[in-house]
Amino acid sequence: MKKTALLLACSLIITACAGNKNILNEKMAKYPADKYITKLASAAKKDDAKTAALKDLKTLFDNLLPSEGSDIRRESILSKAYSAQWWKDKATGKYYAIAVLERGPAQQTMQPYYASIDGKLANLQQRISGEGDKYVRLKNAMQMPPLFEQREQLDKEYRLLSFDAGAYDEENLYAYKAAYNKTFYDIKINAVITGADDTAVKTYLIDSLNSLGFYVGENLPEYDIELAIETKVTNTSSQTTEGLFWADSTATISLKDAHTGGIFATFSKFARDGSGRQDEARRRSLISVGADSAPIIKHKILEYIERK
């Protein structure tokens, strides 16, 4: 008898669970995932279940850092969320509730923000394409990165609203970035390295400028800026530690406008490094002086273009 009663109780529980799952599937079928973001909650009281589901849905952006205007924008999006369905599980007496946010209207809320940013980017792109002076083109392009950053913040929110986690109108964004990158690549920089002509210095300086987008090389037939680097290395042995070698490297750098012949920036950087091998100490000090010089060169070039 006990065994029969236990089997009957288990059967009832399984039946109740299956019944609740069927109800849930039936309710959720009204809100397909490609059109809705949904959250399910349960509680002993109906209103508590509805409140819990809605509260859970409104945590959608909680893992994103705030950005300019994000609080108002996110509040506007989440205001479109609502409690859509509720029911009581007869077996357990619990209440269940579903809160939903329709993807389409939520995404529509973001379009004015995109329109504002993309309008400014389109205007800059038009000014770049219609400008013959490559320096003026670059000055216009240098206004784009803050707009790219603003758009990236929007995309983080938009991806959460998209069923496929896609960004908004990516083709236009690619076009704006292509215009931006080309203005940097149009500036040709000819590197002239003398003195301790070590590949370490070339690697750090040339790669650093290339990473910014400039076209940088040696012995270029035509160029806009000449980057002259003279390196000197002095090797010494430690007076206090046997087997330790020091290398002092100095890089003297000048930047010249190839079109006017005017030198617009000069500076020097010094670095010291040590090693148990003299050649390694030399290599390390040259790498250090190159790494320290690279961001300054970037800054000097952009500063000069801003002034032109």
- pLDDT (average), residues 72-79: 94
Q: Which two tokens stand for residue 209?
A: 């400028």
For residue 176, pLDDT beyond 80 = yes
| Residues 301, 212 within the same domain | yes
| Residues 152, 117 within the same domain | yes
| Residues 275, 227 within the same domain | yes
| Residues 173, 113 within the same domain | yes
| Residues 195, 302 within the same domain | yes
* Range scoring the smallest mean pLDDT among 16-25, 188-197, 233-242, 270-279: 16-25
| Residues 179, 203 within the same domain | no
| Residues 89, 125 within the same domain | no
Residue ending a domain, among 46, 74, 103, is 103
Q: Please check whether residue 175 lies inside any domain of the structure.
A: yes
Alpha carbons 70 and 62: distance in angstroms, whole number: 11
| Residues 59, 117 within the same domain | no
Q: Please check whether residue 21 lies inside any domain of the structure.
A: no
| Residues 48, 87 within the same domain | yes
- Does residue 133 or residue 13 have the better pLDDT? 133
* pLDDT value, residue 20: 60
| Residues 117, 148 within the same domain | yes
- Does residue 17 or residue 142 have the better pLDDT? 142
Alpha carbons 89 and 98: distance in angstroms, whole number: 14
Q: Please check whether residue 6 lies inside any domain of the structure.
A: no
- Arithmetic mean of pLDDT over the chain: 87
pLDDT tier at 45 (50, 70, 90 boundaries)? very high
* pTM (two decimals): 0.78
Residue ending a domain, among 184, 208, 224, is 184
Residue ending a domain, among 47, 71, 103, is 103
* pLDDT value, residue 197: 58
Alpha carbons 231 and 103: distance in angstroms, whole number: 60
For residue 106, pLDDT beyond 50 = yes
Q: Of 171, 157, 82, 88, which is closest to residue 122 (Cα–Cα)?
A: 171
pLDDT in tens, 84-104: 999 998 888 999 999 999 999
Q: Please check whether residue 24 lies inside any domain of the structure.
A: no
Question: What percent of the chain shows pLDDT beyond 70?
Answer: 91
pLDDT in tens, 186-237: 999 999 988 875 666 677 777 777 777 889 888 999 999 999 989 888 888 8
Alpha carbons 276 and 27: distance in angstroms, whole number: 73
Q: Please check whether residue 16 lies inside any domain of the structure.
A: no
- Total number of domains in the chain: 3
Q: What is the span of the domain harbouring residue 37?
A: 29-103
CATH number of the domain enclosing 270: 3.30.160.150
pLDDT tier at 284 (50, 70, 90 boundaries)? confident
| Residues 193, 300 within the same domain | yes
Q: Please check whether residue 205 lies inside any domain of the structure.
A: yes
* pLDDT value, residue 1: 46
| Residues 196, 294 within the same domain | yes
